[in-house]
């Protein structure tokens, strides 16, 4: 039959080759042969590592930014605001806001929970009140209706904002409620149509739940959570009707976004 080189030339000329197993590293395609190069395990791991790099980079950027923000909040906090880490965790934080003067919340100390999401700063932190507060834009679970706490298009959060800005905005909301975008429709109606009753009820809640003297005298078992706090009854039936008419609209605008 001749040498192997002669048999290969005959096969290429007549489009025929003996039925021999091609050498390792070649695959037969018709009457032609082409080299094959299997993907090495190191190459596969390189591809997986490249895909994981953006996530690792994002985590490092988030951690670096949080460290800077925490340092600034602890060394130069905004007036009337305190801030600290909960159990030394950077994504579970606590804050305190002092009630502003000339407001129903004066001399009150309000605790807040700040949970930093994994995609921060591209998503806003989740902030809620732990101390009960009588306010049209803060519900019985402590959730806050504020545009900077929501993503666009319904919200106004931007990555250029930070936790200090959010806490300052919440402090301003306590002093200047927005009754046109409420979470508590009955309180919003009371604020708009019977301001004196609203101020009296808000002061009572502040003295009961947020005053330093009452908080110090309570044991942990006596602490009242935000969900258990009950809203005082309104004095006029007309106010209740107005509040009920607004309830669905107010809650949908803030919580469904």
pLDDT 10s digits, 79-90: 999 999 998 888
Q: Quick one: pLDDT band at residue 233, thresholds 50, 70, 90?
A: very low
Mean pLDDT of 19-28: 51
Q: What is the DSSP letter of 159?
A: T
- CA–CA–CA angle 32, 35, 37 (5° rounding): 150
Residue 81 lies in a domain: yes
Residue 58 lies in a domain: no
d(CA 86, CA 175): 27
Residue 10 lies in a domain: no
In this structure, are residues 171 and 97 in contact, taking their beta carbons and an 8 Å threshold? yes
Residue 16 lies in a domain: no
Q: Which range marks the domain in which residue 162 is found?
A: 68-255
Q: Quick one: pLDDT band at residue 175, thresholds 50, 70, 90?
A: very high
Residue 53 lies in a domain: no
Q: Quick one: pLDDT band at residue 94, thresholds 50, 70, 90?
A: very high
In this structure, are residues 180 and 135 in contact, taking their beta carbons and an 8 Å threshold? no
pLDDT at 11: 52
pLDDT above 70: residue 1: no
Residue 147 lies in a domain: yes
d(CA 155, CA 149): 7
78 burial via Cβ count (<10 Å: 0-12, 13-18, 19+)? middle
pLDDT at 93: 95
CATH code of the domain containing 102: 3.10.110.10
Residue 79 lies in a domain: yes
From edge to edge, which strands make up the β-sheet containing 81-86?
A: 81-86, 89-98, 109-115, 126-129
pLDDT above 80: residue 65: yes
Supply the residues annotated as catalytic: 145
Residue 8 lies in a domain: no
Instruction: Tell me the HSE value of 127 on the side-chain side, using a 13 A CA sphere.
Output: 29
Q: How many domains does the chain have?
A: 1
pTM: 0.68
């Amino acid at each position: 039959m001749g040498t192997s080189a002669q048999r290969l030339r005959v096969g290429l000329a007549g489009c025929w080759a003996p039925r021999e197993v091609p050498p390792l590293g070649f695959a037969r395609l018709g009457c032609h042969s082409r080299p094959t190069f299997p993907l090495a395990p190191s190459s596969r791991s390189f591809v997986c590592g490249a895909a994981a790099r953006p996530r690792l980079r994002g985590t490092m950027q988030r951690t670096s930014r949080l460290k800077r923000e925490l340092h600034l909040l602890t060394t130069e906090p905004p007036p009337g605001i305190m801030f600290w880490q909960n159990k030394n965790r950077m994504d579970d934080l606590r804050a305190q806001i002092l009630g502003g003067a000339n407001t129903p919340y004066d001399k009150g100390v309000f605790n807040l929970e700040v949970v930093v999401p994994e995609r921060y700063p591209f998503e806003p932190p989740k902030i809620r009140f732990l101390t009960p507060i009588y306010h049209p834009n803060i519900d019985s679970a402590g959730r806050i209706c504020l545009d900077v706490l929501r993503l666009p298009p319904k919200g106004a959060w931007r990555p250029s904002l930070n936790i200090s800005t959010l806490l300052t905005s919440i402090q301003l909301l306590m002093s200047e409620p927005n009754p046109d975008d409420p979470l508590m429709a009955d309180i919003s109606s009371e604020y708009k149509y019977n301001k004196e009753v609203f101020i009296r009820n808000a002061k009572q809640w502040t003295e009961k739940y947020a005053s330093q003297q009452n908080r110090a005298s309570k044991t942990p078992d006596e602490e009242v959570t935000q969900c258990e706090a009950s809203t005082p009854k309104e004095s006029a039936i007309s106010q209740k009707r107005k509040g009920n008419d607004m309830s669905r609209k107010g809650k949908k605008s803030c919580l469904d976004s």
